Each structure stands twice: as structure tokens, then as C-alpha cells.
């Protein structure tokens, strides 16, 4: 008997599909005992699909997999700006969305979602090389070229291939919580996702040469969240002036130093709520937020819920 808690993921391989884009969701959500997901790779029809970069995919399922899936990934594919996917593919995506499945595009897979009309009036992104083409071909979409991914609820889009990892980890965090996402990140040897200012997206990082020094400061800060972490302390660790640190930090991460610290504290609090029996008061002190009242305030502001409700949602067995 099927596990009712199992989430079903379909990876739709179109002609010219990029190998890395296909592999990311298949690997992140791979069927394994520790992950409540079942993955099926499919095409417009079962059989051999010609991919990009000299590869081909032998898929066991056709578009019927989209009728089965709760989450559909559309990997990037070659020449997305030249013609839309077959009508049958677009109709299957629309039908999946209509019955409540989430649709997620990696890189130029956004063009397939755009062709359905589901991105009209919404923010979306794609590989930087194609953002202008996406905007020109689909002017009703608010294309944002400065982000790694965009979460618009029923539809999600991401930038280039590596950004697909950030998108997948974001989905894991939403579905299973921080602990599961961090576990997957360690398995992938990828950086765990810690959002920067707005929950809907993560600003693209374009580090300057000083970026590596700031990365070390961020790592240091994560180990000292329970201590006072003001701008002066962070700048002192990075060996630059507070003004320089603040300006370069925003350029590097898309958020101010204090916004980043606050979000990091909330993220660590989330993991402690998921994986420990510590009280809300203890966790607030552990992550440097001081009191349970302060923790509740920031939880409500960032996540729209309370620590108690969050624990109830993401604690295994509850």
C-alpha cells in the first residue's frame, strides 16, 4: 500500500534537455528511505529522448507521469527561445497545475512554463543569457534577472543549472524543514540555503575579490550566533571598516549584515525546534535572540507562524 505521506516528483525531459538540469532534481529528491519522495523521469512519450551535449535519455514514462505527480520539474533545454514545446506537453503541464501540482523550472525550463501562460503576471527568472529573450517572448511575465530563484507558490523558476540546487533545497525546506534540507545539502556537498532578505528569492551572489574573506566572516558568525554580533564585530573580523563591510556585504549577499544575522538566527532556531526538545526560551537564548517573546516576534515576521506551530509541523511523528 502506498505511503500517503510520500510526495511524488516527475522530472519532465524535453528534447535537448541539459544533463545537469535533469540530474539535479533527480538526485536531490532521489527515492531513498530517508526521503519521503518518489521520483519518475518522463518525456513527452516513453522511449528515447534526445538530450543536449551529446546525451540521450531512455525514459520509462510519458506525460501520464504528470497526472501522478505532486511536483513537476522542467529542466532546461536547448534553444528555448525558438519554439514552444509540443501542445500535448503544455496541456499536460496545465492539467497538472489545475489539480494542484507545483511546477518548477530549472534554467531555460522557464520557457516551457511561460508557454502555458502560468507565469503571466508573476515574477520569474531563467538563465542570465536568456532573461531578455524570455521577457521579449512573454511580456506579461515580470522577469527578474538578478535572482537565483523565484517562488511564486504554484510555480517556481530558477536561474542557471547550479541555481537548481538552491531551488530544490528551498522546496525541501518548505516541505520537510531545515534539518532535512541541511542533510540533503551535506549529501550533495552543497552550501545549505540561507535566504537573504525576502523569503521569495535569494539574490544572486557576485563576489568581489574580498568575497572570500567575507565568506569566512559569515562562517565565523554562524559559529557565534549566541553572542552579540553587531556590525562592528563583523567588520572587525573581516578586517575592514564597518562602512566598507556593510556596503560590500550587501553586494555579496543581497542583504544587510544585520538582516543576514537575524535570518541565520531564525534558521538555526528552526533546526533546533525540529531536532531538539529544548524549550522556546532556551532556543531563543542559544541563537542570540534573548527571549522567547523576541523569537516569536521574528518567527512571525519571517515565517508567518509561531515557534510552537513550527515545531508541531516539522517534528517527526507529530
Candidate from 45-54, 67-76, 134-143 with smallest mean pLDDT: 45-54
Task: Quote the cell numbers at residue 196.
Answer: 537573504
Q: What is the pLDDT of residue 213?
A: 61
Candidate from 62-66, 126-130, 280-284 with smallest mean pLDDT: 126-130
Q: Identify the three-state secondary structure at position 297.
A: helix
pLDDT, mean over the chain:
86
Whether residue 43 is predicted with pLDDT greater than 60 in this model: the reply is yes
**Number of Cβ atoms within 10 Å of the Cβ of 29:** 24
Q: What is the pLDDT of residue 212?
A: 53
CA separation (Å) from 4 to 7, 25, 37, 168, 291?
Answer: 8, 21, 11, 22, 38
- Give the integer Cα–Cα distance in Å for 197 and 67: 36
pTM of the model: 0.72
User: To which residue does cell 556585504 refer?
Assistant: 249
Whether residue 200 is predicted with pLDDT greater than 80 in this model: the reply is no
Instruction: Collect contacts of 223-231 with beta carbons under 8 A, ≥24 apart.
Output: 225/261, 225/264, 225/265, 225/268, 225/287, 225/288, 226/285, 226/286, 226/287, 226/288, 227/288, 228/288, 229/261, 229/288, 230/258, 231/257, 231/258
Residues with Cβ within 8 Å of 27's Cβ and at least 6 positions away in sequence, in order, are 188
Q: How many helices (H) and strands (E) does the chain have?
A: 14, 11
CA separation (Å) from 263 to 164, 184, 298?
Answer: 22, 20, 9
Q: What is the pLDDT of residue 9?
A: 96
Task: Quote the cell numbers at residue 280.
Answer: 522556546
Q: What is the pLDDT of residue 201?
A: 36
Reported as type and span, the H/E element at residue 275 is helix 257-275
**Interval 105-154: pLDDT, tens:** 999 999 999 999 999 999 999 998 899 999 999 999 999 887 888 999 99
- Give the integer Cα–Cα distance in Å for 59 and 164: 21
Percent of all residues in the chain with a pLDDT value above 70, rounded to a whole number: 89
Reported as a pLDDT band with limits 50, 70 and 90, residue 3 is: low
Candidate from 87-101, 111-125, 297-311 with smallest mean pLDDT: 297-311
Phi, psi of 59 (to 5 degrees): -105, 140
Report which DSSP code applies to 44. S
**Interval 152-195: pLDDT, tens:** 999 999 988 788 888 999 898 888 888 888 888 878 767 665 44
Nearest residue to 177 via CA among 287, 262, 264, 273:
273
Task: Quote the cell numbers at residue 207.
Answer: 563576489
Whether residue 202 is predicted with pLDDT greater than 90 in this model: the reply is no
Reported as a pLDDT band with limits 50, 70 and 90, residue 279 is: very high
Amino acid at each position: 500500500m502506498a505511503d500517503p505521506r510520500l510526495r511524488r516528483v516527475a522530472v519532465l525531459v524535453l528534447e535537448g534537455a541539459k544533463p545537469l538540469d535533469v540530474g539535479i532534481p533527480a538526485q536531490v529528491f532521489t527515492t531513498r528511505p530517508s526521503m519521503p519522495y518518489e521520483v519518475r523521469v518522463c518525456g513527452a512519450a516513453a522511449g528515447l529522448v534526445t538530450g543536449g551535449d551529446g546525451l540521450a535519455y531512455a525514459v520509462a514514462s510519458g506525460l501520464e507521469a504528470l497526472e501522478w505527480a505532486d511536483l513537476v520539474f522542467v529542466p532546461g533545454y536547448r534553444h528555448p527561445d525558438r519554439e514552444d514545446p509540443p501542445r500535448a506537453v503544455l496541456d499536460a503541464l496545465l492539467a497538472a497545475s489545475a489539480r494542484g501540482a507545483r511546477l518548477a523550472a530549472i534554467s531555460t525550463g522557464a520557457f516551457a512554463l511561460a508557454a502555458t501562460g502560468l507565469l503571466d503576471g508573476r515574477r520569474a527568472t531563467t538563465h542570465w543569457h536568456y532573461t531578455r529573450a524570455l521577457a521579449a517572448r512573454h511580456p506579461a511575465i515580470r522577469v527578474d534577472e538578478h535572482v537565483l530563484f523565484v517562488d511564486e507558490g504554484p510555480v517556481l523558476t530558477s536561474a542557471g543549472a547550479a541555481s537548481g540546487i538552491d531551488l530544490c533545497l528551498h522546496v525541501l525546506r518548505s516541505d520537510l524543514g531545515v534539518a532535512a534540507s541541511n542533510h540533503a545539502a551535506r549529501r550533495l556537498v552543497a552550501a545549505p540555503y540561507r535566504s537573504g532578505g525576502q523569503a521569495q528569492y535569494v539574490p544572486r551572489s557576485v563576489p568581489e575579490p574580498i568575497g572570500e574573506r567575507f565568506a569566512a566572516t559569515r562562517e565565523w558568525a554562524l559559529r557565534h550566533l549566541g553572542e552579540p554580533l553587531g556590525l562592528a564585530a563583523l567588520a572587525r573580523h573581516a578586517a575592514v571598516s564597518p562602512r566598507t563591510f556593510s556596503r560590500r556585504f550587501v553586494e555579496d549577499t543581497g542583504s544587510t549584515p544585520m538582516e543576514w544575522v537575524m535570518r541565520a538566527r531564525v534558521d538555526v532556531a528552526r533546526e533546533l525546534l525540529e531536532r531538539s526538545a529544548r524549550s522556546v526560551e532556551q532556543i531563543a537564548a542559544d541563537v542570540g535572540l534573548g527571549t522567547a517573546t523576541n523569537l516569536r516576534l521574528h518567527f512571525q515576521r519571517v515565517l508567518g507562524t509561531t515557534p510552537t506551530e513550527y515545531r508541531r509541523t516539522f517534528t517527526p511523528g507529530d
